[in-house]
Amino acid sequence: MLSSFFVHFCDLINSGDLEEAADFTAKLIELKPDYADVWYWKGVVYEKLLNYDDAISAYKEFIIYSDEPKAHMGLARCYYLTDQFSLGNIEHEYR
């Protein structure tokens, strides 16, 4: 199931259908909310859509399930792009 998800997801991203990709990740999260990578990809899609608040939320969920550096980088990037990047903000996130 997950490999077919990734193929379909990549097809949506490559075709530029970001809204559909966002909907697709939401549907998969309903089925398997603890699958960390879906939260990461949801963050990526929302970041590409310039919806940084939802991207931040998705990256935070990803961090709950996985401590991969890519989530922290995505979160920091979104904070930076929304002028929320400060040492105080980052310290608060990791307490």
CA distance 19 to 86: 30
Distances, alpha carbon 21 to alpha carbons 37, 38, 88, 95, in Å: 14, 11, 33, 32
Q: Which of 80, 43, 45, 82 is nearest to 60 (CA)?
A: 43
5-15: average pLDDT: 85
Does the predicted TM-score (pTM) go above 0.85? no
Q: pLDDT band for 4, please (50, 70, 90 cuts).
A: confident
Distances, alpha carbon 52 to alpha carbons 6, 17, 69, 89, in Å: 23, 18, 18, 15
Q: Which of 24, 30, 1 is nearest to 11 (CA)?
A: 24
50: its two tokens = 């310039």
Q: What is the pLDDT of residues 21-80, one digit of tens each?
A: 999 999 989 988 998 999 999 999 999 999 999 999 999 999 999 988 887 898 889 988
- Report the pLDDT value the prediction gives residue 2, as an integer from 0 to 100: 60
